[in-house]
Amino acid sequence: MPDDSALMRVLLIASPAGAPPDLAHADALVLDHAPAAEPAWLPPLRRRPGALPLYVRVAPSAADLAAALALRP
């Protein structure tokens, strides 16, 4: 029986636009790009017990990196 570290992890890749993603089976949330403003659905997800880690995929530009860092991933 493999230990938990050997199990495949599920990364949910979501667009910050639109409705909140379904996180039922996700181990982490990846925003597809850094939005200009924090999505309205993100703060409630962060307040939930056991909130998932948040990652942001950015283009290689200073503006995208600054927007991503504002989300505190």
Give the domain ranges of the chain.
Answer: 4-70
- Kindly compute the dihedral angle of the four CA atoms of residues 61, 73, 44, 35, in this order, to the nearest 10 degrees: 0
Three-state DSSP state, 31: strand
The pLDDT of residue 8 is 58
Q: In this predicted model, what pLDDT tens digit does every residue of 43-71 receive, in sequence order? A: 888 888 888 888 877 767 667 777 777 77
What is the pLDDT of the chain when averaged over all its residues? 76
pTM assigned to the model: 0.62
Please state, in angstroms and rounded to a whole number, the distance separating the CA atoms of residues 11 and 26. 6
CB-CB contact of 31 with 56 (8 Å): yes
